[in-house]
Amino acid sequence: MIMNTLKSVALGASLALGLLLTAVPAHAASITYEVHVDTTSLSGTDGYLDFQFNPGGLDALAATATITGFNPFDATLIPPAILTGDVSGELPAEVTLGNTGGFNDYFHGLTFGSQFSFFLTLTGDALSPASPPLSGTAFSLLLFGADGFTPLLTVDPDGRLASLQIGPTGAVGVETFARAQGGDPAATITELTTVPVPEPATLLLLASGLSGLVTRARRTRIKSA
């Protein structure tokens, strides 16, 4: 009976370790940002909000950009949104953009207010590559006028107010563009949290802890025998 109990404990520990190792992928990391956009000069006019998440090449590693907590303040979204490529969801609910397609775009009409904000979380193998690829992936925030083509609040001819670029090494570069009229960028980006890749020592600690559970169970059963 003691042997059966010990085997059960050992089997349970092995399964638990397996689940822990499965729950911690070899490449897993995430970074969350708060994005705030000042649209005071556009208040009361119609235009478009555009999110893009595009790889720089075919060898770009998998990545996901998730938009949550969208706060329009006094702006009004004008449905429906236009989704192109690896994109799902619709504001003000969660929107997810992947980089599996060459062009991944979320395009949504709105009547501008004084501001809007949202949280952006980047995840995926691209943030912690085992072997750096040649290409990265970029998330872009853009605003356009009512014609859908005229860039707003930026000197960037492509319409970008901000760009977050996941480089080949996994480092993220953040860039904001000055307003076309001069002055500070309309977009403000603040990094909130970073979840690092678990170190090998962490996994070893997990294994040691489970081993200790088996040892303590064995001693308890021997004493009670």
pLDDT, tens digit (0-9, with 9 covering 90-100), for 86-125:
999 999 999 999 999 999 999 999 999 999 999 999 999 9
What's the confidence (pLDDT) of residue 7?
Answer: 41
Q: Is the pLDDT of residue 9 over 70?
A: no
Distance CA 167, CA 153 (A): 26
What's the confidence (pLDDT) of residue 38?
Answer: 97
Q: Mean pLDDT in the chain?
A: 82
pTM listed for this prediction: 0.76
List the 76-84 sheet strands across, edge first. 76-84, 105-111, 46-55, 137-145, 160-166, 172-176
Q: Is the pLDDT of residue 37 over 80?
A: yes
Q: What is the mean pLDDT of residues 33-45?
A: 97
What's the confidence (pLDDT) of residue 59?
Answer: 92
What's the confidence (pLDDT) of residue 223?
Answer: 46
In the DSSP assignment, the letter for residue 151 is: B
Q: Is the pLDDT of residue 218 over 90?
A: no
Closest to 159 in 3D by CA, of 136, 137, 185, 177: 177
CB 131 within 8 A of CB 43: no
Q: Percent of the chain having pLDDT more than 70? A: 75
